[in-house]
Amino acid sequence: MPTAPEKGIWKIITASSVGTLIEWYDFYIFGSLSTIIAAKFFPSENPTAALLSTLATFAAGFIVRPFGALVFGRLGDLIGRKYTFLLTLILMGTSTFLIGLVPTYESIGALAPILVLVLRLVQGLALGGEYGGAATYVAEHSPAHRRGYYTSWIQTTATLGLFLSLGVILSIRRIMGVEDFENGNGWRFPFLLSIVLVIVSIFIRLKMSESPLFAKLKSEGKTSVNPIKESFGNKLNFKMVLLALFGATMGQGVIWYTGQFYAQSFLLTKCFIDYEQANSIILIALVIATPFFIIFGALSDKWGRKNIMMVGMLLGVLLYRPIFQQLLNLSDTSKRTVTEQTSNVVQSTVFASASDTTTLKKFDDGSELKMVSHANPKGEHEIKKTLILDTTSKWKMIFLIAVMVLFVTMVYGPIAAFLVEMFPTKIRYTSMSLPYHIGNGIFGGLVPFIATLITTIPGSNALSGLWYPIIVAALCFIIGSLYLSNKMDKDVTD
């Protein structure tokens, strides 16, 4: 099999990874800024409706990913990997940049949310086409005995994209100030910045050559005429698509989202951790755990892909509830001793007869709890809590999140090599992209949504939402363990 020399493979990995990382960055900033986007682009009279509209937009972004996998997967198997994932990069960068330019609902009315929705759909489509191309491209250049290791660099990009998006948002927020960032135009800069990153990445990717395996197929006239039909209409291949979905990507998707996104949301909404502290906890945990994508990718070349992925899933199934319970315990202020308490009462801006009360409690361990009692439009008082943890509790939380990201690295590190090895070259892009994006986009992407729905059921508690990822991961663990072999198909030239 023609593989790139050692020096050449790093150019290939860099060019592929940088573009994929930027696409993830583009996709995440929308999710991270969803509350601000809701206020800017959806009718503000009803904040819940606005937030739900954005959630629907967010979900739509994920739902269109599988369609992107089909559209661009087909293109990648027909015209080649290089030009297809160049196209996805251009689409993603342009749509992200344009989101940063769309006037608000107050300026242009209903056109604003429609434009944002359309651009978000384009983002989802582009993301659906990107990953399969990058993973296939790197895998088809890699020597068989190091395929897991080399493709694991692509696997780091999703987490690094999240890291980059959080880092950029926090930096701009700090530079401009919270007020300017949220109520001015500061929130637009993370979107606008994308165009610079994308231009750099396009420049790098233009210099790349086509995958040697695809180029060989093309020169021999053996490329697929109809990749979608051959992927899903051919029973032999369709069976493998189903197995890849239910035995691997479904569980990988929920582990991935729970360990990173749901954890982030949990810190903010259930533990009431201060926005900056919660995101810094996630950022540090990501830094600690990210090298393990490479480690487990490399180990999968020796131990097999399946074993590592299944252990990661099992650990998630067994340990999610204890870990999240521990996060709740660490944010519980009822057992801490109050050393200082101050209250400040001001006239409510909503109701003249009501007043807003801000209470600040300082505890003996150094943590601080701020409670703002605010009159809502019905005249009822709502209490908003913000907790700043003491250093010890903060590091305990970082450790717990890092452990969950470690599970992510186990299931996600080897999966590119796993998927590439399952399917033949001429329909690989299409065949591997769809199960990947159904697993991640649908099963994974809907973790926060379904988990939130579960927690609204009477009798549920803060941990009830975890049942969704636990059950899905458990099901996937059983299917993967029984139906998949740990032996690798080293020859991907078929």
Partner 1 sequence: MNGIKRILGILWIVIGIASITALIYSAATNINTAHGDIGKPLPWLIIILVFTPIAVGLVIFGYYSLKGEYDGEIKT
The Cα 59–Cα 373 span in angstroms is 32
Across 27-45, b (16+ Cβ under 10 Å) vs e yields bbbbbbbeebbbbbbbeee
Applying CB under 8 A, among 40, 74, 205, 305 the residue interacting with partner 1 is 305
Which of the residues 218 through 257 are near partner 1 (CB under 8 A)?
A: 239-240, 242-243, 245-246
Applying CB under 8 A, among 311, 371, 450, 462 the residue interacting with partner 1 is 450
* Residue 311 sits in the site that holds partner 1 (CB under 8 A): no
The contact pattern for partner 1, residues 40-59, with x = CB under 8 A and - = no contact, is ------------x--xx--x
Applying CB under 8 A, among 45, 219, 457, 459 the residue interacting with partner 1 is 457
* Residue 337 sits in the site that holds partner 1 (CB under 8 A): no
The CB-of-350 to partner 1 minimum distance in angstroms stands at: 22
Applying CB under 8 A, among 280, 449, 474, 493 the residue interacting with partner 1 is 449
Report how many residues bind partner 1 under the rule CB under 8 A: 39
* Residue 378 sits in the site that holds partner 1 (CB under 8 A): no
Closest to 120 in 3D by CA, of 211, 208, 53, 200: 53
* Residue 453 sits in the site that holds partner 1 (CB under 8 A): yes
How, if at all, do strands 355-363 and 338-347 pair? antiparallel
The CB-of-463 to partner 1 minimum distance in angstroms stands at: 18
DSSP state of 208: P
CB neighbours of residue 237 within 10 Å: 18
The CB-of-184 to partner 1 minimum distance in angstroms stands at: 30
Is the distance from CB of 205 to CB of 85 less than 8 angstroms? yes
Residue range at the interface with partner 1 (CB under 8 A); choices 73-81, 131-139, 222-230, 303-311: 303-311
Q: Which is nearer to partner 1, 174 or 302 (CB)?
A: 302
Q: CA distances (Å), 391 to each of 153, 164, 339, in order?
A: 32, 24, 17
- Enter the tokens of residue 14: 């860099």
* Residue 422 sits in the site that holds partner 1 (CB under 8 A): yes
Across 98-136, b (16+ Cβ under 10 Å) vs e yields bbbebebbeeeeeebbebbbebbbbbbbbbbbbbbbbbb
Max CA separation in the chain (angstroms): 81
* Residue 304 sits in the site that holds partner 1 (CB under 8 A): yes
Q: Which is nearer to partner 1, 190 or 439 (CB)?
A: 439
H or E segment and range at residue 136: helix 111-141
List residues bridging with 375 in a β-sheet: 381
Q: Which is nearer to partner 1, 375 or 484 (CB)?
A: 484
Sheet strand arrangement including 368-375: 338-347, 355-363, 368-375, 381-388
Which of the residues 474 through 493 are near partner 1 (CB under 8 A)?
A: 475, 478-479, 482-489
Which of the residues 10 through 29 are near partner 1 (CB under 8 A)?
A: none
Q: Site residues (CB under 8 A) for partner 1?
A: 52, 55-56, 59-60, 63, 239-240, 242-243, 245-246, 304-306, 418, 421-422, 438, 442, 446, 449-450, 452-453, 456-458, 475, 478-479, 482-489
